Amino acid sequence: MYKPDYLMMTPGPSIVRENVMKKRSEFFGNPDLDEDFFIFYDKLAEKTAKIFGCKKESMILMSGEGMVGLDSACASLTEPGDRVLVIENGLFGAGFADMVRPYGGVPVTLSFDTKRKIDIEKVKEFLEKDSNFKFATVVHCDTPTGVLNDVKEICRLLKSKGILTVVDTVAAIGGEEFNALEYGADIALGGSQKCFSAPPGITMLSVSSDAWKAIKGRKTPIASFYCNLSYWEDCVEKRLFPYTMPSSDLMGFDMAVDNMLEEGIENIVERHHKTAKMCRDGLKELGLKLYLEDDFSSTVTAFYVPEGFTVNEFIKRLKDEYKIFIGGSYGPYADKVLRIGHMGESAKTEYIERTLEAIKDMLGK
Ligand SMILES: *Cc1c(COP(=O)(O)O)cnc(C)c1O
């Protein structure tokens, strides 16, 4: 049996509250046929929309973790030959190019320093020369480094050029401010296992009226069944989901959303700011070097592995000896960078204290 005994401080999945686990264990009914399940889904979409800052009708809750959301946005918007502007300063951002190509999209990547947020002025300059794009992609918090982008300004700029936006806010929403309608984000997407603090399994998307227009105005059919968003537009009215909904996942997710709304989004964002700062200050006090100098997301802190350790050794010792599990990183940062997640339920001062204490002890300080 798989039964972890550690404090989970990884940058997703995050800690799941007991009431969410309990809800998942309850009898789930028939999500295909039961009228009450559609009512439940509709209410859950309405509650989730409050967190995304969009209308209930814009909200889609799909089976699958975050990547299904990214894939669905790309599959549903991209037609063969469409140029897509991939604005990136990290691995998730750059990865969008690989997600539009299978649908015949032509990605044009605009790259930025991974240690800084995306430079709006440079995006503006670029768009003055070339703005012939169907849509653009951008990541709110690029998790492998924890850099936070100003998606509000980016979405507004793109909208002013008539370019649709796809915003991956999987690692930020519920920990940083976000508002799809106010920002004009056309498709924004999240995952259940980050700041929502539910187990992986659900991806949430807000789809604007402009995005629906683009999806419905396509000249070519969407080249995917599972990732075809058009099935979702009026699935509640039609009482027909494109596939059997993961009822236990959604019941747990519903509890997690209730937990969030009870605390209040503003309070949650403030709690994340506080714990993130505490984490950064604590690491610096221990003589450790943060990966970023500025533009930190409040959901994850990346820092260089201390001398005398490899990333894997550090993680293993913290896990085995102190029962605290933190993350390494990916790509160019894989053997250099460690990451502490403070997302949702993990963003608590007591957990940060425990983690910092353990690191201090391990470093012999
Ligand atoms: C976690 C994450 C995803 C989704 O990845 P999963 O496979 O669901 O873990 C997408 N984008 C970002 C920025 C993420 O942090």
Ligand 1 center from residue 294 Cα (angstroms)? 22
In the predicted model, what is the mean pLDDT of the chain?
97
Locate the ligand 1 atom nearest the alpha carbon of residue 169 and give its number. 13
**Would you say residue 365 has pLDDT above 80?**
no
Q: What is the mean pLDDT of the segment spanning 199-208?
A: 98
Is any ligand 1 atom within 6 A of the Cβ of residue 73?
no
The second-level CATH assignment, the architecture, of 18-262 is: 3-Layer(aba) Sandwich (3.40)
Is there an atom of ligand 1 within 6 Å of 67 CB? Answer: yes
Q: Ligand 1: does its nearest atom lie under 6 Å from the Cβ of 170?
A: yes
Query: Closest residue (by CA) to atom 4 of ligand 1?
Result: 66
Q: How far apart are CA 62 and CA 230, in angstroms?
A: 13
Query: Per-residue b/e over 310-335, b at no fewer than 16 CB within 10 Å?
Result: ebeebbeebbeebebbbbbbeeebee
Give tens-digit pLDDT for 46-84: 999 999 999 999 999 999 989 999 999 999 999 999 999
Point out which residues pair with 207 in neighbouring strands. 187
Please give the distance, rounded to the nearest whole angstrom, from the Cα atom of residue 193 to the centre of ligand 1. 9
C-alpha 274 – ligand 1 centre gap (Å): 23
Which CATH code fits 7-13+265-364?
Answer: 3.90.1150.10
**Mean pLDDT, residues 238-261:** 97
Is 191's C-beta closer than 6 angstroms to any atom of ligand 1? yes
- Which atom of ligand 1 sits closest to the CA of residue 11? 15
Closest to 311 in 3D by CA, of 290, 326, 289: 326
Q: What is the pLDDT of residues 204-233, one digit of tens each?
A: 999 999 999 999 999 999 999 999 999 999
Residue with CA closest to ligand 1 atom 11: 170
Q: What is the pLDDT at residue 1?
A: 86
Give the residues across from 166 on adjacent strands: 137, 187
164 by DSSP, 3-state: which?
strand
pLDDT of residue 69: 98
Residue (of 256, 200, 216) closest to 17 by Cα position: 256
Q: Give the model's confidence band at 359: pLDDT under 50 very low, under 70 low, under 90 confident, else very high.
A: very high
Instruction: Give the ligand 1 atom nearest the CA of 139.
Output: 13
Which atom of ligand 1 is closest in space to residue 194's alpha carbon? 1
Give domain limits for the chain: 7-13+265-364, 18-262
Probe target for ligand 1 pocket from 14, 62, 65, with the most ligand atoms within 8 Å of CB: 65
Q: How far apart are CA 151 and CA 178, in angstroms?
A: 9
Ligand 1 center from residue 67 Cα (angstroms): 6
DSSP codes of every residue in 297-324: -TTEEEEEPPTT--HHHHHHHHHHHH-E
Handedness of CA 315, 319, 322, 327 (dihedral sign): positive
**Cα distance between residue 306 and residue 94, in whole Å:** 28
| CA distances (Å), origin 236, targets 214, 239, 289, 343 | 21, 5, 50, 31
Q: Quick one: DSSP state of residue 217? A: T
User: Omega into 13 within 30° of 0, i.e. cis?
Assistant: yes
pLDDT for 79: 98
In short, whether 171's Cβ falls inside 6 Å of ligand 1 is yes
